[in-house]
A = this chain, B = another copy of it.
Amino acid sequence: MLNRVILIGRLTKDPEMRYTPAGVAVTQFTLAVDRPFTSGGQNEREADFIPIVTWRQLAETCANYLRKGRLTAVEGRIQVRNYENNEGKRVYVTEIIADNVRFLESGNRENGPRDEGAASYGSGNGNYGGGNSQGGTSGGNPQGGGRSGGTPRNNNSRDPFSDDGRPIDISEDDLPF
Number of copies: 4
Tell whether, in the assembled complex, residue A33 and residue B114 are in contact, meaning their CB atoms are under 8 Å apart.
no
Closest residue on chain B to residue A106 by CB atoms: B117
In the assembly, what is the distance between CA of A136 and CA of B9, in Å?
22
Contacts of A94 in B (CB 8 A): 50, 80, 94
Q: Known contacts being A10-B121, A121-B10, A138-B138, is A33 close to B113, with CB within 8 Å?
A: no
Q: With the chains together, A48 CA to B123 CA distance in Å?
A: 18
B residues within 8 A CB of A113? Answer: 120, 122-124
Binding site for B on A (CB under 8 A): 1-10, 12, 32-37, 39-41, 44, 48-50, 68-71, 73, 75, 77-80, 94, 96, 100, 102, 104-106, 109, 113-125, 129-130, 132, 134, 136-138, 143, 172-173, 175-177
